[in-house]
Structure 1
Amino acid sequence: MVERDEGAEDVVRLLFPVAPEPAGKKGRLRVAIYARFSSERQHERSIERQVELCLALIERLGLVLVATYEDRGKSGRTMAGRHELHRALADAKSGLFDILMVEDVDRLARRQSDAHLIKERLVH
């Protein structure tokens, strides 16, 4: 599902469903946020902005935030060394959240093959 929030600088948020049905209390979907910045071209502040944008959308949609994962100064070119991403994938597998929200798909992966692998690990 792709959600466009016109009030937040027209930034697209991608919602990656993890569970087929909501498992949160009262049927509300449980959401985790993943944010990453690369020291190559971004300022550390960008990670806070990513989280702020996702939080605004979570609130607007009436979802429940259960976790935030942040990889600071890590490239999206590889999954290696991205400890928070691996923790998010493990938590998804254990059923901690229903949706992983990112500010943009390139926060998860730069390479299509990595993005596909992450998606597969989230939904299975």
Structure 2
Amino acid sequence: ALTLRALNHRPLFWFKRERNPDFFDYTRRIFDRAGYIPAYVEEPAEHDVLLARIARGEGMILLPASFSAIQRQGVVFCPVAEGDNMPLSLGVIYAPHQAESVQQWLSLLDDHLTTR
């Protein structure tokens, strides 16, 4: 696996801090601890545009490992050594009238995750 430090000063597609300040700051602390200094480039909204720009050599992005299943000519997926320090967090957005079914789903999910 590559280390983040090995990618220093290379263009990194990343979201604007205004979109998610807490997560942006969290990843920035991880980058700092790893000695990683990216050259930030604004991330396109559409993934197909993002992958096309990566294929053209305009930058790279850090994504969950599940994205490695996507096959795109000119794009290579490679794990980074610090990947375990960047867990994927999930959030749930729902309408108030769905609260009971969402709570049941969250309880089921919590039971599943705590048994691992």
Shorter-chain TM band? 0.3 to 0.5
Higher Rg:
2
Higher strand share: 1
* TM-score w.r.t. length of structure 2: 0.39
Greater fraction helix: 2
With a CA cutoff of 8 Å and minimum separation of 6, indicate the structure with the bigger relative contact order.
Answer: 1
With the length of structure 1 as denominator, give the TM-score of the two structures.
Answer: 0.37
